[in-house]
């Protein structure tokens, strides 16, 4: 079973570095720390469910081989008793598989709330004023007019539409119009 998680962080990393992830969430001021614990709990439940599922599938495969052997030996009554057990195992396998899928769906939804881990050199901050200048190159230009931001120039020139772009993407991406 191949799992694809929508988070940028690998679930193994989250499991093994839960304290670091929790710290990053605090430092970034994003996400609910209780979400991390729910993720860890769901991950443990998912792994238990998958283990039980694999054990049931292994038992079912073993029993199927046993049935074939008993039938070849002419032991039909014993084979019929085991066949009844395979029906019970099939129902259990379906139930365990459904449980694992349900848990996995809930887990994937919660993983979207886990932020990426910033590099240790990144200062903790919550507003643009908390940012630190790392490098300056050249002289800052001066103008004899009030410069406009690029988005105003795009829209004023009929070359971009941020409002429609944001409606489609749900973020601040523009539609670019014409040749730019």
* Whether the Cβ atoms of residue 25 and residue 115 lie closer than 8 Å to each other: yes
**pLDDT of 53 higher than 90:** yes
Q: Determine if residue 171 is left, alpha or beta; phi over 0 gives left, psi from -120 to 50 gives alpha, anything else beta.
A: beta
Instruction: Give 161's strand partners.
Output: 175
- Gap between the Cα atoms of 162 and 174, Å rounded: 4
Q: For 68-87, what is each residue's pLDDT tens digit?
A: 888 888 887 888 888 888 88
- Per-residue pLDDT band for 2 (boundaries 50, 70, 90) equals very low
pTM of the model: 0.62
Closest CA to 100 of 42, 43, 46: 46
State pLDDT tens for residues 33-52. 889 999 999 999 999 999 99
Q: Residue with structure tokens 């709330």?
A: 113
pLDDT at 1 over 70: no
3-state secondary structure of 160: strand
């Amino acid at each position: 079973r191949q799992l694809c998680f929508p988070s940028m962080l690998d679930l193994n990393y989250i499991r093994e570095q839960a304290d670091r992830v929790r710290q990053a969430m605090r430092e970034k001021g994003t996400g609910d720390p209780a979400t991390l614990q729910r993720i860890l709990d769901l991950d443990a439940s998912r792994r238990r469910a998958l283990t039980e599922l694999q054990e049931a599938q292994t038992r079912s495969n073993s029993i199927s081989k046993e049935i074939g052997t008993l039938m070849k030996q002419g032991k039909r009554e014993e084979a019929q008793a085991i066949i009844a057990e395979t029906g019970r195992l099939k129902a259990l396998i379906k139930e365990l598989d459904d449980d694992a899928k349900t848990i996995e769906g809930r887990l994937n939804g919660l993983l979207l709330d886990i932020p990426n881990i910033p590099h240790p050199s990144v200062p903790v901050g919550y507003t643009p004023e908390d940012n630190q200048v790392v490098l300056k190159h050249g002289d800052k230009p001066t103008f004899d007019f009030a410069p406009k931001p690029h988005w105003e120039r795009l829209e004023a020139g009929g070359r971009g539409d941020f409002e429609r772009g944001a409606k489609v993407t749900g973020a601040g991406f523009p539609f670019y119009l014409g040749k730019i």
